[in-house]
Structure formats: structure tokens, C-alpha cells
A and B are shown apart, each in its own frame.
Chain A
Amino acid sequence: MATDNALPLEVLLARLATVVGAEHARELPKGARYGALLPSGLARRARPRAVVTPASAEQIQQLVGLVPRLAHEIWWSPDASGHGAQVGDGRRPAVLLDLSRLARIVEVDRHDGCAVLDAGVSHTALHAHLRERDLPFRCETEANGASAVLGTLLEERWSVGPWGEREAFYCGFEAVLPNGTLLRTGMGALAGSDTWARTRYAYGPALDGLCGHGGLGIVTRYGLWLAPRPRQLLPFAARLADDSAVAQAVEALRPLQLTGTVPGTVGIANERAAAALVVAGGGKAEASSGWRLWGALAGHAQRVAAAANALRAALPALRFGDDAEPANDPAWQARLRLLAGEPLFDDLVGERVAALCFTAVAPPTAVDARALLALVGKRLAQVEPRAELRVGARALLLEVTVESTAKTLATRRAALQSAMNALVDAGYGITRATPLLERAVRMRQADDGQRELARRLRAALDPYAPRRAASSGVARRRSS
């Protein structure tokens, strides 16, 4: 077991406290946060032993030097409110860096909507900042406003609507590398530049890729492009009876999205996912079957009208605006708020039950949509998955979430692993997964060349990198 020969906890905490102070270095809480609902044996092995909440990039620089010397891995999370923070992969004892104290909204430019944010800024905080100052911009949100904006960005989770492809809106990272270097990517590397959050690619190699899924940088600050509040926002929706109707909708949407007629993403959620949103927001959901399609158009009146006409022609089942769904439908009300950029709730404790999740990526075609749903449906029929498709111009994402209790964790984890393996074997990609699931699938879907590249990048920047190629690429990782 990973912790058997580890440093005594009190010694570990004392050493960590020398950097962040005793009140910010503590044993992992026993509460629901950080995954306490997991079975005790698994939790002990998989959960970080300690959590530290640094207040600055400088403290993080000190920690990346200290923690490996204490024979612990570093896990980090912008806020530790998401699924990923709940479990590690259990190979070595770990310390979790919770960046939620880095919560400063450094700047939101009133003229161009370019923002500079600290890693721990939550959706709720950003939303409130824009509203209180009457800034004419909006930010894509998550249902749980307590989650960090950076977390959803780095996890490449798409929201729904004209600005749904989130990763297209970040601009520049500040990150602590494993060797302790504080790096700014893009124009941040030019001292005194006013374009760090405005010009994504500066001179020479772009190092942004080290920070996201590359897992080689602990992001402390970043630039984000906010969207202007649109002149018009026209929501649309449709009910789709079955997987076949979903596939047809994906096929109908693609040409409109590729031409930019319908920018951003369209969501298609199964009823379980729709209901979960309502329950999570404190409401009561009705049970039904089928799928719900939803999205929005934005812009001036003529552009919105033209796009709506094109959508009507492609998908006659669509309804718009006030006719889209019954006004008293709680699931629709929740989605309208999300489309407007409003979080539904604000809960730092996070999910009351452990959740396992992954995101698969496929071409946005009917054939692939049908194949994705069949591969997943067959393997997860017994575990009540929440499934949401995000349809973009060049990709189709399938987000799957399965709730788990301590009793059901093993079987549900196996079911998800089986579904992910089947997707990978069929040629689809997995872009995100709960850490319990991630390592195996990452190894399964990368080839020798990519693994070798990952090993060398890590060797270049991480003085504590494992030397064996087979162990490379995931020794330290980010979670959110």
C-alpha cells in the first residue's frame, strides 16, 4: 500500500507548514469533499494524504521543490471541487495542492473583454464581478458555480451555446513547472507587454501545451477572452425520441456548424442528465425517456433570424424562444440560466456521492454518433449513466457520468473501464477521465512515439521524473 512506508503524517504536515503555514497544511478532511465516500481501503491508497492551500505562485514554487523530496507526488486542482480531486492513482503517496486561495480577478478589460484570472477564480465569482461592475461581457459557466473557471477550461469541457468550445477562449498561462520555474506562455514572456491575455501565440515555440493535458505545469494565472453580451440570445430546443433521432440531428447540424451559421456547440442530453441538473440545483425532476437537444443563437436580429431559418429547415422538430419548451419545465429553466451564463448553484462541498466520468471524442457524423451511443449504451445499461453530447463543428464529445456509492464503486468502475476500452478500440479518443480510469486508457490510446515524446518532455522539465518509460507521463497530474 502506497502509504505504508511514507513519512509520518505529522512530520509531513510540519514540513508543508513551513511553506504555507500550519492552517493551510492539513490532513485530508473526512467530509464529503475530496472523495471521502470511497471505500476505506481504496480511499486510503488513492486519496492524497494532505492538502495544502498555497497563497501565491512563490509558495507553489517552494512546494514543487519540497514535496518530491518528501517522497510524495503532487496533485493539484484549481479548487478541488470537481471529480478529479477525489481520487489519485495510488502508486505513491500524494499531496494535493488546492489553489482555491488564488482567487483574484486581476483584470477584466472593459473595452475588449480580455480577463486575467488567478487559478482559483470560480464561475460564481467571475459572474458576480461582471454583474456588479455592469461589464458588458459574459462567461461560460458550469451548473456548480463554485467550480473554478480554469478547471473546466483545462478539462476541455464544452458548455452549450455560441461560445461553447471553451478552449478557444483561453489566452496565455502562468505556470510553475516541476523544476520550479515560473513560466508565462505567449506574450506573457515579454516583460511589460499589454497583450499577454490578447495575443495567444508570441515568438518561437508555444509552450501552452505543457500546461493543459500535458500536465507539466501547475497553472497559477491565465488569460481568458470573455464574450460580449449579445444583442439577442435565442434559445432553441427539441425532444428526440431515441438514439437514431440523435444521430440524425448530429448529421443535420454539422454543415451549419462548419459554415459558422450555428457557431459554438449544441447539447443533446439524455433525460437522466437533464434531471440531474434539476436535482443538483435543488429542484424536483420528472422521469421520462429520450433525449433533449438544446442550444442558442446570438447576434444581431438579422443574423439570428437567418440562422434560425437555416436550423428550422435542417431540423423541423426544433422550437425557438418561448416556444422551445414549456415555461414551467424545471430542466429547461435550468438550461436557460446556463445559456445566460448563470451558475445554478454554488456548493464548495461538491457532489454528495462519488462520480466517475469520462469524455469521448468522435467525428460529428450520424454514423459516429450512433456508434458512440451503441458502444456506451451496451456496456453501461445497468449503471444508469448520465450522457450528454456536445456537438461542435469539428468534433462530437460524449460526456458520461456515473454516480457511485462505496458499495457500487467496483462494478461501476469496471463498467466504465469496459466502455472506454471499447471506444478506444473502435478508434475513438478519450479526452478526459476520472483519475481512477485515466491512466489505463491513456496508455491504451497513445502510441510508442507519443509516449516517448511525453517521457522526454517530462525528463526535460521534471528533475524527479521516473526514469522508466513505462512509468512516464502521469507521475504528477492535475485534477479538477
Chain B
Amino acid sequence: MSPALVKPRDALPPARVDAHALDAALDEWRTVLGPQWVLSGAAPGLARYHDDFALDDARARAPRAALQPANLKQVQKVLEIARRRGVPLWPLATGRNLGYGGAAARQAGMVMLDLSRMQRVLEINETLGYALVEPGVSHLDLQRELARRGSALTAAPPAAGWGSVLGNLLERGHGHTPRAEQFDNLCGLQLLLADGTVVETGLGARERGKPRALLPWRHGLPAASLFGQANFAVVTRLGIALAPRPAALRAYRVSVAAEDDLRALVERLRPLLLEGVVAPGGAIVSLLLDAALVTTRRRLGGTTGPLDAAARARLAADLGLGAWNYHGAFTGSEDSVAGDAKVLAEALRGLTGARFEFEDVAGSSPGVALHAALARGVASTEAHAMIDWVGAGAHLDLDTSLPLRGDAALAAFRAHQALSEEHGFDYLASFQLGARDLRHRHMLVFARDDGHAGARAAKLYRALAAAAARRGDGVLRTHLDFMDDIAAQYTWNDQAWLRTCESLKDALDPTGLLAPGKSGLWPGRGGRKRD
């Protein structure tokens, strides 16, 4: 089989929808949902469905209409009409997946299925530690509801808490608590297949079933795993595991002075991670990513290009930051936390220039308060400040995974920094500790008010992604514009993974009704985008 055909985003044609069929469908949807929940034509609300951080003209991907159902029954009716009229839909939870495409679809002319009105927290089970939520519930919503109930439970929110809990988990976002791997917190889904079949995964499949959100997806009937980053169904409800607040939590930072110390820092942290002294979710943050919380590139003066090494060293000294800053937290009892701190201090001994400080000492330093809050499961929007590094900011995120090894981290850093500077960008990134890997999250921050910056960011992104694949560092999720490119990187055994996904797509959504092109998965009918 030949390699996938990589099409730049602007080569994608608009969604093929018969105008008469769409008009007829819109009439039917208005009857089902009420006219105020069907946006089309010049409706002002339709402008919301775009990518806030588009890499070119956001209007080029404008949808034809948006539908806002309020419950499962309405979603079923919407799908029935779409199926009958042959109008594909692009489901959205809240559309706040910034850096990955926001509230846009892959193609222009799509009809958006906006689930943000389904925003009930259906259950919080204090005894068993889980919540059942609808797609429109954000991490900030969930946090407010937990507080209102006086709950002892916390979620694991991402850095920006305004996004959907369900969307973040299904897109495999990461939190910052020990339960950072959001997908592992999945405890049951309610799915609506394209033909209208409702599927409850796990124990939810039985009417008399005990708590639906009892088991992680890996246990028992395993269908739930298929629906992350997928377009096989509309997900209308999520069970998510929550963790009780620990008796003691102490946030801390370890900073190292030299960029090359990244290697030694990873090597020292790895055994402690395996042992459970340091937890998954902590992040080794680059100097500029922490600095961007409190300053901007323009404020630092000098040329407009990337900061050179001398300027970075001055900035580190001014802000009390290291070249790398590991933000973590110990949790447990007071005694166990004290023991953890002792073990970490011992492990860092001999690492020249390393500083290990608790939040009460380093609290005023950039990033410490933010990461301490995230480690406590407190959602916020504070992290958004970093995108203003280059003016009216936007960001494009590249997430890759690599082995939990110092040399691998250093190689990735060096490659990304060199390519960034070559393309005129500063390197703002973090290495988050996974259970057995590192997640390299590189934020390509660019200025929205610079007409060419988005295109330059896209060019850099492609170069970085290609280099990462050559190193064997796989991309974990991506922006709408690059979904075909990234899917095409997964080439083992003649693209067995992609071919299998396409078979599943054809079986579960044979007419390509749901999110065509999502994650590089196109429906078979009418021809795939790749040969």
C-alpha cells in the first residue's frame, strides 16, 4: 500500500452537502429543537464555531449551521434527520480545545453538533469516588459543583479549566495530579452510534446495574477504549473517577541551572517515579514557558527573534528560575510526605545547581502557585497568560511521547529548540512525567495580529512532527490541520492501525455521518482521502 496522501488543510474541499437536503434538514431540526437552537445563515451565534487560534483565515472553515440539542432524545432525533438527509455532523462538547482546533471542524460547510447545552452533573458518588457528567460540563463547572456539595473529591483538570471534562478525557488530555492520565479515569460511556443505537459501556449496560462508573475501562467489556480521539459515535455521557483530597499535600519545585541538566534531572526522577515517591503529572517546565506567565518577549526588548542563550540566562536570574523547573507535589499523610521529601533530597544530592524548594519558599516564583493549584485539582485559567509571550497570542501544540530517559529528553529538547530558532520561534515546552514515559508538550506560541505567524507556526509544526517521527517520538494528539499527516506517520505493518480504524469506521458509521476526517479517519463511501 502506498503511503498516505498528505493534504494540506487548505486543499480539503468543503463538506459535500446537497443544498436542498440541507435546507430540508434545517427545517426538520428547527421543529425538533426549536428554531432558537438551530443556527444558520447569518445567525450571529454561528460565528462562535471557529478556531480561535486558526493558522490562517478562520473564516475559511466556516460551518453552514450549528445545532444545539439539550438531551439524548434530541440528539437521537438530530441524527435520524441527518442520516435520512445525508448531512454529516461535527460533534463538539464545548469547543474549547484550544491549540488543537477549538470549535472548528476539519472542513468548511459542516453542520456542527454542539452538545454544550447538555451540562448536567448527573451524579457525584462520594463513597466510590466518581462523577457522571454530560458533554457540556467544564472542569470549572465540575469544580464548582464539587465545592457546592462540600465534596471531598477532586478531578485532575488540565492547565486551562474551561474545557469540557468529557472532551478533555476523550481527547486524552493530561491533568497534573497523580491521576494525570485522564483516559485512565474513564469509567463508562454512553454512546450514540450513527444509526441511533444507544450503547452503555461497562456496567452501565444493564438496567439493574450497580453504579455505572464503577470500573475503569480496561476492566470487563472493553468497548470504551475505542472512542477516544475517534469519530465512531457521539459520546453523550461520561463516568469519570475522582480522587479524594489527600490528608497532606506539599507542592515543590526542583530547578536546575543548565539546559543540559535536563538529562540528569530525568535520570534522578525516574527511579522515584517508578517507586511512587514522585507522581505522574508533575512537569519539567522550560525556562521560557514559566517566564511567559509573568512577562512577554516584547518587554524583554532586543531583537524580535528568539532569545539567545545570554538573554535566557539573564531572564532566569531575574526571575529566580532554572533552565528547567520541575513542578511536583507529594501527597499522603504528613509523615509519608516528609519521608518522600527526604528521599527526593537524597536523590538530588550531587546534582550541581539543583534547587529543591517547597511552595512556601518558592511560591512567588513564576509557575509555582499555578502548579501547586493544579496538583490540588484546582482548575483555573491562569495558564492562558503564557500565550501572550508574543503579543496577542495564540498557540499550536505538539504533544509527543518519548522514553523516560535523560538522553531521550535532551535529544528532543535540542532538536525542537534548534528547529524553533531556525523558524524564528522561542522554545516554550514542558516534559510531563507519565507512568512510564515523558510527554513532551511543545507550545508554538505565535501572534494572532501577525498575518504570517500562523503559517510560519504550521511550517515549524510540520518540521517538528517529521523530526519527532524519525526519532521514534510519536505524536499523541494534534490540531485539525495536521490530522491526516499524523495518522499517516503510524505506518507499522503497512498502516495496520489505520486500516483497522477505517474498517471500524465503515462498520460503525458506514455513511460517514460523524466527524469525517477526525484523527485522519475518513469514511469509505465516496472514497477515502488516501489511497
Contacts and interface: CB of A to CB of B under 8 A. Distances in A.
Interface stretch (A84-92, A200-208, A282-290): A200-208
A204 B520 contact: yes
Contacts of B215: 361, 394-395, 429
Interface in A187-225: 187-195, 197-210, 212-214, 225
A156 to B, nearest CB: 6
Interface string B319-342: 000000000000111011011101
Contacts of B404: 111-112, 198
B119 to A, nearest CB: 24
A365 B214 CA distance: 12
A306 interface: yes
A203 B488 CA distance: 11
A457 interface: yes
B223 A450 contact: yes
Interface residues of B, number: 104
A447 B190 CA distance: 13
B407 to A, nearest CB: 11
Given A189-B496, A207-B501, A427 B209 contact: yes
B135 to A, nearest CB: 18
A410 interface: no
B303 interface: no
A223 to B, nearest CB: 9
B339 A306 contact: yes
B365 interface: no
Contacts of B218: 156, 167-168, 208, 212
Interface string B454-488: 00000000000000011011111110000000110
B90 interface: no
B332 A190 contact: no
B246 to A, nearest CB: 6
A449 B401 contact: no
A184 interface: yes
A190 to B, nearest CB: 4
Interface stretch (B98-106, B384-392, B430-438): B430-438
A245 to B, nearest CB: 20
Contacts of B36: none
A456 B191 CA distance: 14
B230 A450 contact: no
B210 A363 contact: yes
A363 B222 CA distance: 18
Interface stretch (B50-58, B78-86, B199-207): B199-207
Interface in B214-253: 214-230, 232, 241, 243-244, 246-247
A184 B493 contact: yes
A158 to B, nearest CB: 10
Query: Which residue, of A167, A192, A255, A450, has the highest number of chain B Cβ atoms within 10 A?
Result: A450
Nearest to A257: B129
A177 interface: yes
Given A208-B225, A302-B339, A201 B474 contact: no
Contacts of A279: none
Contacts, number: 302
Nearest to A188: B492
B519 interface: yes
Given A201-B172, A363-B211, A450-B201, A206 B496 contact: no
A361 B219 contact: yes
A300 B228 contact: no
A374 interface: no
Given A190-B492, A205-B232, A207-B225, A183 B497 contact: yes
B222 A214 contact: yes
B37 interface: no
Contacts of B508: 453, 456-457, 460
A106 to B, nearest CB: 15
A452 interface: yes
Query: Which residue, of B199, B271, B475, has the highest number of chain A Cβ atoms within 10 A?
Result: B199
A198 B436 CA distance: 5
A254 B214 CA distance: 13
A429 B209 contact: yes
Interface stretch (A12-20, A258-266, A333-341): A258-266
Interface string A284-308: 0000000000000001111101110
B222 A213 contact: yes
Contacts of B224: 209
6 contacts: A184-B493, A193-B473, A200-B181, A203-B478, A209-B226, A214-B222
6 smallest CB-CB distances across A and B, nearest first, come from A302-B339, A209-B222, A460-B507, A189-B497, A209-B225, A449-B199
